Amino acid sequence: MLSPRELLAFACKMRTAYDSDKITKVVESIITRLGLKECADQRIGGMFYRGISGGERKRVSIGYELITEPSLLLLDEPTSGLDSSTALRIIRDLYNEASRGMTIMATIHQPAADIFFKFDRVIVLSEGYTIYNGPPSLVREHFLKFGL
């Protein structure tokens, strides 16, 4: 079993052509940005060993995707299975990554209000159709126009 630091370093070695100094810098940057310092050297865990928390696992998996410094990050339900405070932490971390210039798109079903309003833009779907596309602050106003 690997620790988050070991996993990220291994992924960096396999997915990039960085030298060992650059790998260390990238891994440490991701650990810091995603708030993984406290668990960086603990075992991630698995079926027979508990390891780090669910929120920490989510952040490690997001960190794995950040290794290659993508300009676009697509996430499917990054907050599913997490309690509200951990989910908010994940969204704050993603917001911070977006503020660094990365475009982040995520699907989230029924987010809490504090999470919903962290997004710059939302697309609301109903039965596969777009029923709203814009800033979260105008969703209520949009639906009031239709008597909803």
Domain boundaries, the chain: 4-116, 120-148
- Given the candidates 3.40.50.300, 3.30.70.1280, 3.30.70.100, 3.30.70.20, the CATH classification of the domain at 4-116 is 3.40.50.300
Q: Mean pLDDT throughout 10-16?
A: 96
Amino acid at 94: L
pLDDT band at 47 (very low <50, low <70, confident <90, very high): confident
What is the distance between the alpha carbons of residues 139 and 132, in angstroms, rounded to a whole number?
A: 7
pLDDT value at 148 more than 90 = no
pLDDT value at 1 more than 90 = no
CA distances from 29 to 24, 44, 72 (A): 8, 19, 18
Q: Mean pLDDT throughout 54-66?
A: 94
Element (DSSP H or E) covering residue 80? none
Contact 115, 91 (CB under 8 A): yes
Backbone angles phi, psi at 76, to 5 degrees: -105, 110
